[in-house]
Amino acid sequence: MDSELIEIRTGGHEAVVDLTSEITTFLRSTGAREGLLNVWVPHATAGLAVIETGAGSDTDLLAALRDLLPADDRWAHRHGSRGHGRDHVLPAIIAPSMSVPVLDGRPALGTWQSVCLVDTNSDNPVRSVRLSFLAG
């Protein structure tokens, strides 16, 4: 298995960050042909989504998460910025890991699909993402 930990800077604000180019670079560096890519976020306050980006869907996702998980004082988990408890609920809704088939050295994504880091935690501007490729 080939594995690499990459660092993503979210800038300390809510973000949906497209990881597809980093994934493609990683797969190229491993010489991957066919197999399975696992993407893992080792954080208690971030997750991963397959979503279209650049056409408003990423902004819509953050708006939906704000509606579903308001940044207010309702949360029992209360350290950090106001409403930070919602960030700890996020990975139960937006999973912190995913597997993507790799075919002919590329992630087998649909035309408009991108693998994205979803981060609502403004207290942590730098994230790690583990990419692991298992040849098939």
The CATH number of whichever domain residue 35 belongs to comes to: 2.60.120.460
Summarised one tens digit per residue, pLDDT across range 24-75 is: 999 999 999 999 999 999 999 999 999 999 999 999 999 999 999 999 999 9
Q: pTM of the full predicted structure?
A: 0.94
Domain containing 99: what range?
2-135
In which band, very low, low, confident or very high, does the pLDDT at 78 lie, cut at 50, 70 and 90?
confident
Instruction: Give per-residue pLDDT as tens, 113-124.
Output: 999 999 999 899
* Residue tagged 């597809």 (tokens): 20
Q: How many domains does the chain have?
A: 1
Q: What is the pLDDT of residues 8-24, one digit of tens each?
A: 999 889 999 999 999 99
